[in-house]
Chains A and B, each alone.
Chain A
Amino acid sequence: GAVVSQHPSRVICKSGTSVKIECRSLDFQATTMFWYRQFPKQSLMLMATSNEGSKATYEQGVEKDKFLINHASLTLSTLTVTSAHPEDSSFYICSALSLAGANYEQYFGPGTRLTVT
């Protein structure tokens, strides 16, 4: 299967600072990547859809000015959590679409655990 990496895997930051998370497709090009957030024992929650070369599409209730997404190349999307607060502490997971024949398959990165103190 296709491989997606994320960096960093774990980050601790102080309240009010910004954190950037990188998501890379390692062995394929991805015009579309997704960003999810998952709180403990809860379901995946889609935050936004990131398309290469265009603005991200945010899900209802997700603040686009707080969660900045940039998808500047076919292998890299970044999520910046601006002015982070303790309630932003969560597990952030990216995924990328890989074309398998005539169908798209979604592959996930290993996730980034963010703790805001």
Chain B
Amino acid sequence: QKEVEQNSGPLSVPEGAIASLNCTYSDRGSQSFFWYRQYSGKSPELIMSIYSNGDKEDGRFTAQLNKASQYVSLLIRDSQPSDSATYLCAVNIASGNQFYFGTGTSLTVIP
């Protein structure tokens, strides 16, 4: 079983809609959770980090963490074509230097 699992997509949403990206992880000792955005041909960019259960909002982005169910999600409100990218979920176990990445979900926002 992979440490971090994501639906590879592709996920398509119309412009202005809410895009919902989901991620599950296997290690209950996981402490830190991250969402990265990677445009084609570019390196990943950290867009959200979340450390405790509940929601964390930053502009149009909301990260949701549920440690009991071992999932973390990213909501993108008012999706824009510029949000079209691959979104990577990452988990840090035991606040050390072990990070596990999902394979990414490809998002396309249709104008």
Q: Which positions in A face B, CB cutoff 8 Å?
A: 1, 32, 34, 43-44, 49, 51, 91, 93, 97, 100, 102-111
Contact = CB atoms under 8 A, between A and B. Distances in A.
B25 interface: no
B99 A43 contact: no
Given A32-B97, A102-B95, A44 B88 contact: yes
A32 B111 CA distance: 41
A44 B31 contact: no
Contacts of A107: 46
Secondary structure class of chain B's binding surface, majority of residues: strand
Contacts of A93: 43-44
Contact of A100 (B42, B49, B88, B101): B49
Contacts, number: 48
Interface residues of B, number: 22
B43 A109 contact: yes
Nearest to B101: A44
Interface string B44-56: 1110010100000
